Homo-oligomer: A and B are copies of this chain.
């Protein structure tokens, strides 16, 4: 029998009076100096951060001055950090971003997929429309890179390629933030065709502790972090969408907590008031487990900043023990964090 990397039980799914499924993984809480406050499992192993680093990829758009020169709204900046559900408002903002540089849907190299928010997909179908690249959950990130390229006078063609000038620039920012070399040896390809570079989970958490504080960052990037955090806090719907975890959390906590999910069970958080960063990787890739584990960690390690009101507690409670109902609305079980968290 093969033994996997060192992981801990992070979440359980119950049905009736039994645990039906279990989720193991790794998680780490780090301060802005890089000190590990708490960890579970082998957190120095590398993971693909996937969509969790979209806000770091957007730093260059702001720090370079491109966002200001192009007069990009806070909505646009929030969408650049998003994995959105393809709802009409998401599509509209993505369109507006590309219109700033005189481009349309054909400029996007992310590929098309139906909105992940199913009611939006059915609404499109009901209007005899097809899915396009604007509905791709990453269209805001791609539109942001295209805006950056146009502002900098760089040809946008093949902007998803690791060797493209724009990729080189944003990868430099990822290296600065994670203090981890990014190259072909740790590179995979993401669902939207852009590269994703594996980094140690602790380095990912540290990057988000700094994203939340500006600690040890060149001034223009520290300022850009603040601008992006503010943009996201003003527009939590644009970062994810209806019924989505990131949106629910940031709707309540605004600038007190930046959280971002990524595919395959990765999740990060920045807690600016406390100077902490959190990163989670569920070993089996289940986002449902990352959500309850994150709320449990926010509740515990973020208490001083995130448990100020009854609403704060209610949001953390509801998202850390998620009730499972069946198709008739009957409660059949719950997804809950492991007791030791």
Chain A interface residues (CB < 8 Å from chain B)? 1-5, 8-9, 13, 15-18, 20-24, 40-41, 46-48, 109-114, 118, 121-126, 128, 136, 185-193, 196, 198, 264-265, 282-286, 289, 326-330, 332-333, 338-340
A71, chain B: closest CB distance, angstroms: 30
Q: Which of B48, B121, B338 contacts A20 (CB 8 A)?
A: B48
Are B191 and A326 touching (Cβ within 8 A)? yes
Most buried by B among A1, A17, A109, A339: A1
Residue of B nearest to A193 (CB): B328
Question: What is the copy number of this chain in the assembly?
Answer: 2
**Which chain B positions have C-beta within 8 A of A198?**
16, 18
**Which chain B positions have C-beta within 8 A of A191?**
326-327, 332
Q: How far is the CA of A157 from the CA of B289 in the complex (A)?
A: 37
Are A332 and B188 touching (Cβ within 8 A)? yes
User: 9 nearest interchain CB pairs?
Assistant: A111-B327, A16-B188, A21-B285, A122-B125, A284-B284, A15-B188, A111-B328, A2-B9, A125-B125
Most buried by B among A113, A192, A326: A326
A161, chain B: closest CB distance, angstroms: 12
Q: How far is the CA of A326 from the CA of B21 in the complex (A)?
A: 28
Answer whether A8 and B1 are a contact pair too, CB < 8 Å, given A136-B327, A192-B327, A285-B286.
yes
